Copies of this chain bind each other. A is one copy, B any other.
Amino acid sequence: MSLSYFQLSVPVYIRMLGNLSHLLDKASAYCSEHNIDEAVLLQSRIFPTMYPLVKQVQIATDQAKGSIGRLSGITPPKLDDDETSFGQLRERIGAVLSYLETIPPDALDETASKTITMPWMPDNPMQGEFYLVNFAVPNVYFHITTVYNILRHNGVPIGKTDYIGEI
């Protein structure tokens, strides 16, 4: 009748980051097929004041590893934000997946008693459960969906099932 904080985040992130990696595979194949420099797609944006695809992937992975790191106390891998290809972005996702696979199921049990303060919102501390459910998870979905939309906008042949994953 219920899901633990672990169940509603770690396996969800693992599944969705796997789907993201799969989307990038299709983007990479599209670039090869049409002689498109991968940098063009990596720098593509929905609007000039939004982040490009490469940064959307960086933030999706940062929010996933960062939220689990903050709530579990298990230090996530430090990543350099210097990716210049889909292959490097997939390696980044792989590093985060490897980290998430190490998290024990009881590591998030104290979530409800934690207070999380994001560095850029020092005046808005969040209760741990609120942070996980209403901030971290929606952000991960946001940035993965935005990657999807940037790829669709550029004609990459993907569909909703690539976002949702295996059923």
Contacts and interface: CB of A to CB of B under 8 A. Distances in A.
B145 A160 contact: no
Nearest to A118: B167
Interface string A1-45: 111110110001001100000000000000000000000000000
A49 B153 CA distance: 10
Interface string A141-167: 110011011001101000010011101
Contacts of A87: none
Question: DSSP majority for the A interface?
Answer: helix
Copies in the complex: 2
A165 B134 contact: yes
A91 B16 CA distance: 32
A112 interface: yes
A149 B46 CA distance: 7
Given A3-B8, A15-B134, A138-B164, 19 more contacts: A1-B109, A1-B112, A2-B2, A2-B5, A2-B7, A3-B5, A8-B8, A8-B133, A46-B46, A50-B152, A124-B167, A134-B165, A138-B163, A139-B164, A141-B145, A142-B160, A145-B149, A149-B149, A153-B153
